[in-house]
């Protein structure tokens, strides 16, 4: 028997704010980060998982993941694939921790990190990538693994079972399709809001040259800037390719309608996160008012219940599941089932560290065993940080190609963990030394001035761009 013997959780942060990678109207200086979980066993196999954050506060997810992972020590995982439900229910059953949610917030993010490591561990024991593990599970096994709590008014286990059984006879055919041509993706890499027009256009040209048919831009800070940037990119990519826009929750409902319709001439395929992520009825109002542009959301949909409401209200045209926002695969499965029942394409969010590696498995499985189609479906792709993973994504002709390595593709390289662990990783120690050097040699001679007195007291932060080289902004 193979048992979980101990868990380690690392606070890993990458200084993406230096180049404004990941910048949008809501998040101007993100340092892409992960609460990174390693589950050790009494064998030589470990499980690796993570949840995604953007810097400060990552330590809260780390602490919560430590508490949840402790509950799994001693758990026997041999032959667990037949019923993945009990360990999920046990991981989330600490009622005092659940009071801090339930099914949302820091604790739910931490649950995702731990359960991602559990699924990675089981897949490694089965010597299969997670997408193939899921694609070879029986409909009954998949239903047993799924969390149907609070959503049976939208889909029942029986309905999910029937949906899955319809796809079983043709699973092998779609596996061969996937292996021969991959799964289409779109790129957000040109669209970060902090990029100059020149950098945006150069990145968009690289995407076009690489065969991408879908490009997404961040919007929502300034309408005239958005119109200029959309015009530039639409002119570069031509009328045949798809342009998407992403507001990252910046607008009220009426403002979202007005702003999106002001960009309608650029023919956006969808507007993403146009308002508060919890506002299902607001999204429904926006969807009716901005058509034919679609509405996409889900990366901040904190649980399956909110997805249920979005589907029932016909509020979204594209469902953007997130491998680290929902509570792991056990909660993602019923969202995929609901999306198939309601006829909403699933286009996963993957704009952060490790998310591309994870969500590819979910879309592969959805194509093989749930929806049975790749039509109107794309996975998000961003260019950065893949070098830190032992099984990075493989993009060929603007398509994800399925990995054959066992696990969930979540394992980070040990050197990357050592370098970027916060605050004691070698990168962050060096960054703090450079920050202190700058304070001592550059700012200190001016410490007597009123402006510098305010800066040193913390009431007026120094200008970000002028000090970026000393890494002020990347020392949370």
Residues assigned a catalytic role: 218, 349
Backbone angles phi, psi at 5, to 5 degrees: -105, -30
Residue 457 CA: distances (Å) to CA of 17, 222, 376? 23, 32, 53
Structural contact between residues 348 and 363, judged by C-beta atoms closer than 8 angstroms: yes
Q: How far apart are CA 290 and CA 262, in angstroms?
A: 10
- Separation CA 353–CA 14 (nearest Å): 9
Q: Do the Cβ atoms of 347 and 378 come closer than 8 Å?
A: yes
Beta carbons of 420 and 14 less than 8 angstroms apart: yes
Q: What is the DSSP string of 140-174?
A: HHHHHHS--TTTTTT--HHHHHHHHHHHGGGHHHH
Alpha helices in 189-252 (DSSP H): 197-209, 223-237
* Phi, psi for 343 (deg, rounded to 5): 70, 35
Strand partners, 218: 246
Q: What is the C-alpha separation between 151 and 309, in angstroms, rounded?
A: 9
Q: In what order do the strands lie in the sheet with 4-13?
A: 4-13, 33-41, 47-53
Q: Phi, psi (5° rounding) for residue 74?
A: 95, -5
Roughly what angle, to the nearest 10 degrees, separates helices 105-126 and 58-70? 60
């Amino acid at each position: 028997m193979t048992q979980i013997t101990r868990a380690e959780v690392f606070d890993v942060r990458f200084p993406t704010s230096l180049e404004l990678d990941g910048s949008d109207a809501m998040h101007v200086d993100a340092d892409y980060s992960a609460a990174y979980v390693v589950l050790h066993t009494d064998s030589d196999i470990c499980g690796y998982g993570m949840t995604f954050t953007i810097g400060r506060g990552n330590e809260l997810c780390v602490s919560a993941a430590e508490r949840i992972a402790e509950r799994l020590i001693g758990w026997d995982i041999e032959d667990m694939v037949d019923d993945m439900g009990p360990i999920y229910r046990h991981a989330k059953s600490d009622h005092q921790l659940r009071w801090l949610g339930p099914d949302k917030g820091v604790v739910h993010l931490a649950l995702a990190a731990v359960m991602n490591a559990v699924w990675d561990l089981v897949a490694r024991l089965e010597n299969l990538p997670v997408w193939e593990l899921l694609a070879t599970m029986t409909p009954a096994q998949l239903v047993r693994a799924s969390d149907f709590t609070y959503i049976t008014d939208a889909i029942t286990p029986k309905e999910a079972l029937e949906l899955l059984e319809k796809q079983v006879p043709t699973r092998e055919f779609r596996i061969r399709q996937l292996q021969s041509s991959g799964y289409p993706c779109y790129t957000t890499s040109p669209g970060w809001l902090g990029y100059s027009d020149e950098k945006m256009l150069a990145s968009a040209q690289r995407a076009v040259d690489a065969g991408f048919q879908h490009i997404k831009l961040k919007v929502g800070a300034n309408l005239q800037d958005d119109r200029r940037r959309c015009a530039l990119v639409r002119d570069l990519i031509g009328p045949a390719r798809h342009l998407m826009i992403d507001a990252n929750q910046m607008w009220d409902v009426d403002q979202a309608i007005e702003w999106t319709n002001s960009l309608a001439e650029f023919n956006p395929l969808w507007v993403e996160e146009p308002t508060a992520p919890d506002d299902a009825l607001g999204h429904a109002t926006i969807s009716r008012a901005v058509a034919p542009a679609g509405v996409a959301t889900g990366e901040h949909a904190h649980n399956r219940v909110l997805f249920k409401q979005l589907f029932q209200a016909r509020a979204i045209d594209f469902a953007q599941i997130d491998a680290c926002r929902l509570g792991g695969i056990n909660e993602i499965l019923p969202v995929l089932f609901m999306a198939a029942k309601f006829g909403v394409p699933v286009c996963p969010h993957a704009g952060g560290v490790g998310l591309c590696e994870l969500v590819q498995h979910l879309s592969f499985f959805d194509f093989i065993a749930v929806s049975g189609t790749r039509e109107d479906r794309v996975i998000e792709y961003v260019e950065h940080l893949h070098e830190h993973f032992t099984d990075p994504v493989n993009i060929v002709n603007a398509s994800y190609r399925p990995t054959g390595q066992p696990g969930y593709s979540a394992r980070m390289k040990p050197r990357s963990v050592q370098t970027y662990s916060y605050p004691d990783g070698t990168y962050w120690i060096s960054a703090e030394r450079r920050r202190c050097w700058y304070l001592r040699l550059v700012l200190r001679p001016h410490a007597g001035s009123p402006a510098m007195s305010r800066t040193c007291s913390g009431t007026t932060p120094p200008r970000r761009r002028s000090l970026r080289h000393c890494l002020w902004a990347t020392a949370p």
